[in-house]
Structure formats: C-alpha cells, structure tokens
Structure 1
Amino acid sequence: MIKNFRTFMSWGIALVTATAVTVTVGATAGGPPNPRPTDPQARPTAGQGKEPQTAPRATERRRIATSVLGRDLKFTLTALRSQTDPLAASVRLQVFTFKNGAWRESDRAPVGEADAWFWFPLTGRHAVCKFSTAGTEPAPVAVSLLITPSIGCSPAEDLQIKNGQIIPG
C-alpha cells in the first residue's frame, strides 16, 4: 500500500513539474507583439492642439455641528472639501440671527487655516472634540476638531460673538 502511495506521489510531482515548465515556457515565449500606432502624431504634443476644458466642480460641503442659543442665535460648523486636494478641507464657522421669521447669516469666519484639515476625519464620527457656546454678551465660542484619530484633537480656538459679529478671541 505504501509503495503504491509513493508511486502515485512521484507521478503527481512529475505532472506538477511538467505543468510548471509548460506554463513557464509559454509565458516566456510571449503572445503577439503590441500593435504599433497607425499615426504616431495622433496625440497633441506640448503647445499644440486644444486641451479639453473641464467645468469647475462644486465644493463639497458637510455640516459637522450646529448650536442654537435661545430663539435668536445659531452657530454652524461646516467642512468644505478642497478644490485642489481631495484629502484636504477647510472649516467655516457661521453665525445666524433670527430676524423677521427667518435665520439670516450675520457673519462667517474660517476655523484654522484654509485646507489645513483632513476631509475624512473631519467628516467622520467623533470629528468635533469641543464646540461650546454660551448665551452671554459677548457670546464665547470654543472649537476643537479631530486632526486624525492617531494625533487627536486640535487645540481649542476661542472666538467671541458680539451683536452677531465674530471677534477673534
């Protein structure tokens, strides 16, 4: 029985080796050569021809936090995806006042530098580390956002709102 098993195993190894050699020889022999272009100047070279015009894409926005104080003051934090780098983003703080039965924007300011945030952590879970507001005059606002999960949260940026206008803190 063991002798028969050894014979079958040796035939199996021989078959696998023969198959591997056939595949290797077939791969090195190659297939048909790549076709040559019929017109080598079909593509425009630098400075020749017109470049296709692409329409500017709309800025992707995502509201990441909102706070309403009383009946007349509302704050929103909005992430704005970068036009030049799909991984970067900016953050905007907007202040709204309630007048004549509608919310109207009274001021806006960037939080941090333009395109200084990462889009995916900023728009994911736990993106807002701190967003505190108060209904006093001037109204203090503190914002801290997630830089990345491994780095953690940014230092808090303190602002004040007086008469619906943002005053850097």
Structure 2
Amino acid sequence: MKNTEKSGTRRLRRALVAAGALAAGAATVVGVVPAGAAGAAEAGRHHPPRTTPETRTIATSTLGDDLRVTLTAVRSTQDDLAANVRLSTYTMDRGHWKLQDTEQVGKKDSWFWFPLTGSGAVCEFSTASRAPQRIKVQLLITPSIGCSPVHRFQVRDGRIVTG
C-alpha cells in the first residue's frame, strides 16, 4: 500500500509540474524544466537517487554587521521533482560567517525543485533587525498554483523558532 501511495504522489507531482509549465506558457517553461531538457516530459524522467543533495541559495538578507539569514533549496535525494527549503542564520565570527541555526520551511520534500530554483521562486522574504528578529517566507509552489501561505519565524536567543 505504501509504494502505491508514493507512486501516486510522484504522479501527482509530475502532473502539477507539467500543468504549471503548460499554464505558464512557452516563455516560462525554461524556468520550470531543467536547462537543456527537451521539454516538460524530461522533468519527470527517473534518475538514480543522489547521495549528496543538490543545493541552491534562493534568498539572503544581512541584518547589520553580524546576522545573515539565508533560504536554501535542497533537492530531495528520493524524488527528482521534490525539494526541501532550509532557513539558516549565520553570525559574524572573526571576519567569517558561522552557521548559528537551521530550520526547515514546510514539510519534508513538500516543495517542487524546478519552481523553487527558477525565476520568481521567492514571493516574499522579509527580515527585521529589531529583537526578536522576525522572518517571513512565502515561496512559489508552481506558476499555475501560485505562492504558498506565509511561513513565520523569529530568531530568539540565537535560535530560529516558528511563529
């Protein structure tokens, strides 16, 4: 039963990506399918699982001289079309940015890789420098579906907390 559910989820993801590409029109299909692909069908082709996830920084904000907030898309090692989004904070330490904390945005493998790494992936990314530092994240689900609900975070005592 579990394999059937995974298979159904993958088919639904592929259908949503293909539908998004068709709805967005030929001009934006390039942002939805991988570079060099023959078309939307290429996006759904199965590839061997990755051992090291592919990552892309999709947004960064620097608050003052000592706090940097970064959104990173992390491609799933289980599903070519799925991705995770990582929110990370860094502090300046002796002239170098040092990782302070990381939090996942949304659920595991709940984002689509190609819309996240294409044009217009970030609908809203706002940060505030006054304590507690508030962070709002809203990302593109697909061009046809639009943007996700806003995910809200705060930095309190050096830790990222939801809310």
The alignment's TM-score, normalised by the length of structure 2, stands at: 0.68
Alignment of 1:90-169 (within 5 A): 90-169=84-163
Match of 1:59?
53
Q: Give the alignment's Cα RMSD to 1 decimal.
A: 1.4
The structural deviation recorded for 1:55 is 9.1
> Contact 2:73–2:116 (CA<8 Å) still a contact in 1?
yes
Counterpart code for 1:161: V
The structural deviation recorded for 1:57 is 2.8
The 4+ residue runs of structure 1 with deviation greater than 3 A are none
The structural deviation recorded for 1:163 is 2.9
Distance 1:167 1:91 in 2: 15
Match of 2:67?
73
Counterpart code for 1:108: T
Alignment of 1:87 onto 2:101: no
Q: Deviations over 1:29-49 (max 9, x none)?
A: xxxxxxxxxxxxxxxxxxxxx
> Contact 2:50–2:78 (CA<8 Å) still a contact in 1?
no
Residue 113 of structure 1 aligns to a residue whose secondary structure is coil
Q: Deviations over 1:62-117 (max 9, x none)?
A: 11000001100000000000111000000000000112221111100000001000
Distance 1:158 1:120 in 2: 23
Residue 67 of structure 1 aligns to a residue whose secondary structure is strand
Identity %: 53
Cα distance change, pair 160–55 in 1 and its aligned pair in 2 (3 A): closer
Counterpart code for 1:71: D
Unaligned runs of 5+ in 2: 1-47
Counterpart code for 2:127: T
Distance 1:64 1:56 in 2: 21
Q: Which has the higher contact order (CA 8 A, sep 6+)?
A: 2
Cα distance change, pair 101–60 in 1 and its aligned pair in 2 (3 A): same
Counterpart code for 2:114: F
Cα distance change, pair 55–115 in 1 and its aligned pair in 2 (3 A): closer
The alignment's TM-score, normalised by the length of structure 1, stands at: 0.66
Q: Select the structure of larger CA radius of gyration.
A: 1
